Structure 1
Amino acid sequence: MKLCSIRLENLRRFTDPVEITGIGPGLNVLAAPNEQGKSTIFDALHALFFKDAKAWDKEIRGLVPHAGGDPRVEVEVDHEGARYRIAKQFFKTSGKGEVRIWREGTLLHQADAAEAWLKALIKPPKEDGPSGLLWVRQGVTSFEDARETLSARRDLLSSVAGEVEMVTGGQRMDAIRRQVREALDQLVTTRGARKGGALDLAERAVADLVQRRDQLSAQVQELRQLLDQRRALQAEQAALNDPEERAELQARLEAAEAAMEAANRHQEQLAQASHAVQLAETVLENHQRKIAELTARLEEASAAKAAVAETSEVAARAHVTFDAQEEKKRHLTEAATQARAGAKKARAALDAVLQAISVAQAEGLRRDLSDRLKQARAQADQIDSLAKAAACGPDEAVLRRIEAAREAHNLARRAQEATATAVTVHYQAGQEGGIHLDGAGVPDGKRLPLPGGGRLVVPGVAEIDIHPGQAGGAAALEQAQAALTQLLEQAGCTSVEEARTRHKARQEAQQQRQEAQTLLKVLAPDGIKALIDQLEALPQAPGAGAQDESTTPLPDRAEAEAAFRAAEQEAEAAENALEAIRSAAADSRLAMENASARADAAVQRLDRALAVIEGQEQAAEALQRLSEDLPALQQNLSQAKATETALRQAAPDPAQTRAILQRAQSAQDAARQRAQEVARDLAVLETRIATHASAAVEEELADTEGQLDRAQKRLAAVEFEVAVLRRLDAALERARSEAQEHYVGPVMAELRPLLRMLWPEAELSVDAGKVLPEELQRGGETAAFDSLSGGTQEQIALLVRLAFARLLARSGHPAPVILDDAIVYTDDARIEKIFDALTMQADELQILVFSCRQKAFRGLGGTQLTIRPVEAGSQ
């Protein structure tokens, strides 16, 4: 099959019908700028050949233009010597698509019959069709669709390499391997036995019988254990019911109870002796405390008398010192008052001098501030004026949009001129400039586009009117012109030059405004209002007559400051002396008050001591009597402690006696309780033994073991079958791998000449299983395909696709090769060799190359294609 023409309508940017005609049998090139619809053409062909007309999925919805409409694609093809026209239209309403096929002008198929004819003509990529190998979308640089096209590559090689059938069995071997794997799939999966398969059923049967055997074995073992437990419990019951054993336990308990009662009586006697010791200790402590208290009170009375005498003398001396310092403080206070009055008078004289100096200085500062205020107000007025000027004219963003619109207009105009009627004049020697176009001389050899027509004047010969055809791009030019005009009107300009001039004036006004704001900031950092406030705050000169004529003239500043410093120093000295005597007088007052307080406290201390002892002679007699009674009390305490010690040493250990009693009680209770438990356990065991004996578990265990042996034999047979199938599959795979070098031979035969055009002496190894490039050997080095640069991968992928296309053509099923910007990473030097490879393969193939690199692809040659509007009325 070969494409002859393509026609699109209502596809993305092509709302009006467009067509590509004159597609030749060999190399065809469509080079156009970006956004001109090349990828749209590629997607349209894909939709025509591989999408059902009734489809309305994401890919088809992506073809609908913004303005709406039902996408329509139409192509003409040559197939087996006949010309076919194929038309397919997709409708938004699901199930309403339309497809028709004409042969030599006669309707051949439509609807489902047409879809079936298309699938037979060129199978879709997902059904192993060759287009997945030969139709390369924009941006695809390698074999990203390798899985989808793997079967297509294998079928293609099987059909062109007849010796493969004899060496490996080819498709027959594939059928055998499918049968082997289908048999394996019925038995196992990648994770184990297939659920419901023979292996799974055999494994589950063995597992169930093993589980049942283990359960029965456990029951038999449990029955034997129950019998052993019954014998042990019967023997224990006989021992617990022995009369001699019971009598021995009772005698042990009675002896322990008697020992516990004797220990309790001894503890009561020990407690009484301990109480007597505590009473003797208390009496002795109280007697000793009375002796200590009476001794301390007598000592306190003697110390208080000595303190009264000492503090009274200190208080008298402190009172005399205080009176002397109070008199001195009175004299120093009068001197300080006179010194402060002199300092105040000197301060007033100095303030008068400084006021006169400040007034004189303020006049100069007032003149400076007045000048700055005048300049600041002038700058503020200029800033307001410049702000208005800076708001006029287009800003930077508006100017950029205008410039972009002008560039778009120029591009649209150049695009129209590129497709418009043009004239090129080649003069004979000496005739240059003899022909005129619209009054101007036509240069020699220069192409002059005439989108609006024109008149050529050949003096003395003829005048030639040139009428323009329907050149492409007129609508785009008008649209670009309208956009530019609209932007200029919005900016209030009549031309781009005016917009630039007004933009420049706006920028200059903004710059001048910034400079004026900077100067204003220098003149008035805190603002004009602050400058006015600073001016008004300056001191004013006194008015006429403010100073009395009889006033004494003011001294100079140095004399006034010296007089003030002297008066200040005199006042400070007087204040310091006064402050010192004040501090000394305060210390004297405090010392006098403290001495008086200590004297008063000493008297009160003596009064308290005398009041407590109620006479010093009676207290001495009481102290003597207490001291005489002390030895008897000490003797009484010693006797009580000796009695307590003797009882404590003879006392039995209460914890040990209590433990013996508890153990005797516990042993008797435990024997009674264990006898009850044994009787209860024997009753339970008898019931369980009877249950197991009636179930005949030992006979059932023997039967289950026989069934398990037979099930294990069946499982071994199925596992042997799985092992045989796996071994057979591996053997078939090894046999196929050993012959795959012959399998990829046709690809390498076609690929090697193309590869040597780019890299002499290079070798490319191909993965025979995937039939894809694996390693590139060049310059003595080997590199994996995935590690190569994007450009090198792109070039090898293109050469491999060309080799597949040549094999497909030689097998009798030629298909066009379509490349949509598929050579985007190739440098200028290597792209020339790629062009040579495309040209060499085009002698047997139809190749369509879409590219936005117009300049680079001029050297490719071939039939140059263009997208043209469909003339009204054409079919």
Structure 2
Amino acid sequence: MRLHRLKLRDFRGIGEREVCFADRGVTVVEGRNEAGKSSMIEALDVLLRFRDNSKSSAVRAIMPSGRDVGSEVEAEISCGEWYFTYSKRFNKQPSTTLAVHRPKPEQLSGRDAHDRVDEILDTTVDRVLFDALKLLQSGTDPALTDLSSAASLSRALDRAAGGGGLAGAEPDSVVPPDSVVSPDPIVSEDDNVLVDAVAGEYGRYYTLKQGKPTGELAAAASRAAVAGERYDRLRRGREVLDDDIERLREAVSRRGELQRAGELARADQERVELAWQAAQAVLSKAEDAARGVAHRQTALTLAERVMNERNDIRQRRAVLCTEAAELDEQCAQALEQARLAAVEASGLEGELSSAKEILVDLREKVGTARQALRRARLTAEVAELTDVLDKLAGFRAELDTVDGELATHTVDAEVASAAQALAHRIDVARGRLEAAAATLRVETLGDHPVTIDGEPVAADGAVDVDGAVDVDGAVDVVADADRVIEAAGVVRVTVRRGVDTQALAEELDRLQWSAQTLCDTHGLTDLSQAAARAAARTDLTHKRALICERRDGLLKWRTVAEIRDWRDVVRAELEGLPEAEAPAPDSIDDLVAAERAQADLVERAHTAAIRRASESSALTDRQTSLARRRERVGKQIDELDDRLAELVFALPDDEARAAVDRARDDLEEARAAQTQFAAQAAELDAAGIELRREQIARDIGHGDAELDAVGHLITELGTKLEMYRSEARLDEFDEAQVEWEDACAGLRRITRRAEAAKLLHETLTRTRLESRAKYADPFTRRLDQLGAIVFGESVRFDVDDDLNVVSRTVEGVTVPRDALSGGAKEQLGLISRLAVATLVDEADGVPVIIDDALGYSDPDRIAAMASVLTEAAHDAQVIVLTCSPHRYAGVRDAHVVTV
């Protein structure tokens, strides 16, 4: 399988993107974090796994946030003889399209397209291997998953372990997968024929992948199940028929019982009805007596009300006469008090007018004095603001000077730290180079001049060459580069730099170039000046902060423009004030005190005048109110006198009292009659007779309803039994029973054959799996070959029967895999996948997908892993997703895509 192109639109945070992958070799897809690199692999999985209308959470999660649009994925894939373009739209207006380009053109859509792609992938792609060769940022163990069901790898290891190819290669030789020789046909052909025959027989009864019943076994089981269902259905019908016969017998018996019970209930109803009519006659007389008592009670109440009304009128008239006398006395008192209050209010108004004239004169004097004081205060404020502006101008000049000096000091703490770290790295690199390179000692013995790289060596051993050291009249020179030692006219010795020191020298040159660049950028002669320059910048920064603090203390959250504008406002206000002589502070205080005292006096006089006038008005209003109230009381007395005269004229008091006595006697006679009839009704128990009458009526109704229901049931059951006899269901039941027993016998026969085939298939499969131990040898050799690039030529791996790495041995030291560091585990996981990819035949191969791996690897290991990727990519398609492109910069001939 090869992935040629992948196109996404509206997939999570990806608007639209199309990436083309190299058919062979390494494709590096680089981009920042959250650029959607991992989403591309997820999109491929969603495309191949889910239908376009799937409601899975994985499909709903790909919808872009905040937009109601469909997510589209399109891929161009080749596998086996097939080459096709496959696309889907999810979540919104779902659709699926498939365009097959080879071996013959096809265009499908919808469910047919999805099923067709599943069929192609099932026949040409090892999905277990496809999932195993992904190394994603899942945070889990990067070890290979179980590959026991990877058919393509099993075929490759079968051939490699069968005597050809890798089985006969030397342990340290590199044998590419396409050079594996086919196994001996005599040996493998018979085995394959037997395995295929057993698998074919097993496939007649079970599916090869999940072991579920199929073929003859599934058909026999289905036939037995269908026959069993038909037999059970007819058996349940027979049982229902028996139940209906029994129900019909019970219904006929129940109908007879209900008819007899109904006759007895109607006889009881006639007896109870006669007793109920007699009780109703007595109850009617008791009710008439009760109504007579109510009428006489009403008459007595009316007679008593006439007498009570006359007594109430006489009592109310006496109370109103007393109230009228009191109101006359209160009106006279209120009139006198109102006259006295009006006189006092007039005197207070005169005193208030004199006090106000004195207050106005005092306020004019205080205003003149305050205006003079305001002019003096504004003059002082203008002077203060002018002084602040002058100081701020000085601070501005000081800040400009400091800023100018800071512009020439570009070395801050961060640059100084970087310079210190770079100097340390240069010392370390120089020490490693000197430790790895040869050291030459040159000592002049005669008169012939000696030069090193063209520089003369003095008699005391001094020479101007980088890395030269004087030692007791001789000079030691480190061969970190090609060195030429020459005695003119006698000999020239050229010392070549060792191959193993080339990388160290290049590293030192790179660091020195970085140091020179940093010095040139910041105007330093060497890295040692960075600390002093940083300290000087710190002092200037501190000085600037102090100036800003003093300036802010003067500004007080204002700006210079605001201070200047406020000074202009104060100055304009000062110029608008008239010239006036400032009074003495003591005289102003005296005037203000006198003004306040006079204002208090005016306020008190005004309050007293208003209060006395209000009292006078209130007393006048009270006298008016009392007079009106006295008038209303007089009218009420006259009305009561008129009403009492009318009542006495209509019925004198003696006759009214006699009417009350007669009504009371009549009420006593009516109550005696009511008591007599109530006792007779209680002896009859009319309520019990009524309840018995209602209960008998309900029983008769329920019995008639149940009798009707039983009659309908008898008719319904009789009809059903007649239909069952006419349809010959008993013969159908016997036929279904025979068919079910025959199907069960056939199922038992086929089951015995299926279990025998299953036992043989499982035995061969188990034997085949047990022989997989020998498969680990080709995989181990390929793993050793690729691992030697990273861990050294002495590396060896111990692999178990499931192709899991158990331990790693380097230079005789064995470390269990679980004890390896995170970086080593990650490197080993990637090497294992590349080893599997290179072992599998190209026709069975799948892409190796690596998502931001090597995050725990050091620079040397990253460079070595680049060589491993380059080596493995000759026989596989490798897709790398990374946010750190420098990790894979060493991969040769890589196809780089930036997203």
Task: List runs of 5+ in structure 2 lacking aligned partners.
Answer: 1-20, 29-77, 87-100, 104-123, 169-182, 401-447, 457-463, 467-476, 483-487, 489-520, 523-543, 842-849, 895-899
Instruction: Give yes or no for contact 1:233–1:678 (8 Å, CA) kept in 2.
Output: yes
Instruction: Give yes or no for contact 1:315–1:599 (8 Å, CA) kept in 2.
Output: yes
Give, in angstroms, the shift of residue 576 of structure 1.
1.1
* Matched residue, 2:757: 725
* Matched residue, 2:668: 638
The one-letter amino acid of 1:223's match is L
Distance 2:367 2:329 in 1: 57
> Aligned to 2:574, what secondary structure does the other structure show?
coil
- TM-score when normalising by structure 2: 0.54
Give, in angstroms, the shift of residue 578 of structure 1.
4.3
Describe the shift of the 1:826–1:675 C-alpha distance in structure 2 as closer, same or farther (beyond 3 A): closer
Q: In the alignment, is residue 204 of structure 1 matched against residue 228 of structure 2?
A: no
The one-letter amino acid of 2:603's match is E
Give, in angstroms, the shift of residue 619 of structure 1.
7.5
* Matched residue, 1:791: 824
* Matched residue, 1:294: 310
Q: In the alignment, is residue 526 of structure 1 matched against residue 556 of structure 2?
A: no
Identity score, percent: 16
Per-residue CA deviations over 1:177-213 (Å, capped at 9, x if unaligned) read 4443443333234777545x21222222222222222
Give, in angstroms, the shift of residue 290 of structure 1.
3.1
Distance 1:745 1:238 in 2: 94
* Matched residue, 2:295: 279
Describe the shift of the 1:312–1:713 C-alpha distance in structure 2 as closer, same or farther (beyond 3 A): same
Give, in angstroms, the shift of residue 351 of structure 1.
1.6
> Aligned to 2:278, what secondary structure does the other structure show?
helix
Distance 2:617 2:886 in 1: 115
Describe the shift of the 1:741–1:823 C-alpha distance in structure 2 as closer, same or farther (beyond 3 A): same
| 2:573 aligned to which of 518, 537, 551 | 537
Q: In the alignment, is residue 351 of structure 1 matched against residue 362 of structure 2?
A: no
* Matched residue, 2:205: 187
Give, in angstroms, the shift of residue 303 of structure 1.
1.5
Describe the shift of the 1:178–1:658 C-alpha distance in structure 2 as closer, same or farther (beyond 3 A): farther
Q: In the alignment, is residue 575 of structure 1 matched against residue 603 of structure 2?
A: yes
1:524-673 residue pairs with structure 2 within 5 A? 524-526=560-562, 532-540=568-576, 542=578, 556-580=584-608, 582-587=610-615, 589-591=617-619, 593-594=621-622, 596-598=624-626, 600-614=628-642, 626-627=656-657, 629-651=659-681, 656-665=688-697
Most deviating of 637-646 and 304-313: 637-646
Instruction: Give yes or no for contact 1:42–1:820 (8 Å, CA) kept in 2.
Output: no
The one-letter amino acid of 1:605's match is V
Instruction: Give yes or no for contact 2:199–2:761 (8 Å, CA) kept in 1.
Output: yes
Give, in angstroms, the shift of residue 334 of structure 1.
1.3
Give, in angstroms, the shift of residue 344 of structure 1.
0.9
| 1:330 aligned to which of 330, 334, 346 | 346
* Matched residue, 1:156: 160
> Aligned to 1:526, what secondary structure does the other structure show?
helix
> Aligned to 2:576, what secondary structure does the other structure show?
coil
Describe the shift of the 1:359–1:832 C-alpha distance in structure 2 as closer, same or farther (beyond 3 A): closer
Distance 1:256 1:782 in 2: 108
Per-residue CA deviations over 1:577-615 (Å, capped at 9, x if unaligned) read 442353245245425533552454245224313422438
Describe the shift of the 1:788–1:623 C-alpha distance in structure 2 as closer, same or farther (beyond 3 A): farther
Distance 2:153 2:392 in 1: 82
Per-residue CA deviations over 1:75-134 (Å, capped at 9, x if unaligned) read xxxxxxxxxxxxxxxxxxx899xxxxxxxxxxxxxxxxxxxxxxxxxxxx9699x99999
Give, in angstroms, the shift of residue 348 of structure 1.
0.8
Q: In the alignment, is residue 318 of structure 1 matched against residue 350 of structure 2?
A: no
* Matched residue, 2:74: none
* Matched residue, 1:80: none
Q: In the alignment, is residue 708 of structure 1 matched against residue 740 of structure 2?
A: yes
User: Which protein has the larger Cα radius of gyration, Structure 1 or Structure 2?
Assistant: 1
The one-letter amino acid of 1:612's match is L
Give, in angstroms, the shift of residue 306 of structure 1.
1.7
1:94-113 residue pairs with structure 2 within 5 A? none
Distance 1:207 1:200 in 2: 10
* Matched residue, 1:21: none
Describe the shift of the 1:786–1:628 C-alpha distance in structure 2 as closer, same or farther (beyond 3 A): farther
Distance 2:621 2:198 in 1: 125
Give, in angstroms, the shift of residue 342 of structure 1.
0.8
Distance 1:135 1:663 in 2: 86
Describe the shift of the 1:257–1:709 C-alpha distance in structure 2 as closer, same or farther (beyond 3 A): same
Q: In the alignment, is residue 693 of structure 1 matched against residue 693 of structure 2?
A: no
Distance 1:309 1:135 in 2: 117
Describe the shift of the 1:185–1:865 C-alpha distance in structure 2 as closer, same or farther (beyond 3 A): closer
The one-letter amino acid of 1:650's match is Q
Give, in angstroms, the shift of residue 670 of structure 1.
5.8
The one-letter amino acid of 2:668's match is S
The one-letter amino acid of 2:229's match is Q
Instruction: Give yes or no for contact 1:318–1:592 (8 Å, CA) kept in 2.
Output: yes
Instruction: Give yes or no for contact 2:795–2:808 (8 Å, CA) kept in 1.
Output: yes
Instruction: Give yes or no for contact 1:126–1:149 (8 Å, CA) kept in 2.
Output: no
Per-residue CA deviations over 1:764-814 (Å, capped at 9, x if unaligned) read 542424x34256699999856698623344247648978998x999xxxxx
The one-letter amino acid of 2:25's match is F
Instruction: Give yes or no for contact 1:132–1:145 (8 Å, CA) kept in 2.
Output: no
Distance 2:559 2:852 in 1: 66
| 2:25 aligned to which of 42, 47, 71 | 42
The one-letter amino acid of 1:701's match is F
Let me know the Cα RMSD of the aligned residues: 6.6
1:434-513 residue pairs with structure 2 within 5 A? none
Give, in angstroms, the shift of residue 310 of structure 1.
2.1
Describe the shift of the 1:587–1:831 C-alpha distance in structure 2 as closer, same or farther (beyond 3 A): closer
Distance 1:217 1:232 in 2: 23
Describe the shift of the 1:588–1:186 C-alpha distance in structure 2 as closer, same or farther (beyond 3 A): farther
The one-letter amino acid of 2:219's match is L
Distance 2:252 2:291 in 1: 59
Give, in angstroms, the shift of residue 668 of structure 1.
5.2
Distance 2:696 2:375 in 1: 121
Per-residue CA deviations over 1:613-654 (Å, capped at 9, x if unaligned) read 438799899566545543442333333234334434433566
Describe the shift of the 1:654–1:786 C-alpha distance in structure 2 as closer, same or farther (beyond 3 A): farther
Most deviating of 754-763 and 274-283: 754-763
Give, in angstroms, the shift of residue 537 of structure 1.
2.7
Distance 2:786 2:582 in 1: 116
Describe the shift of the 1:600–1:331 C-alpha distance in structure 2 as closer, same or farther (beyond 3 A): same
Describe the shift of the 1:682–1:786 C-alpha distance in structure 2 as closer, same or farther (beyond 3 A): farther
Give, in angstroms, the shift of residue 295 of structure 1.
2.4
> Aligned to 2:664, what secondary structure does the other structure show?
helix
Instruction: Give yes or no for contact 1:142–1:794 (8 Å, CA) kept in 2.
Output: no
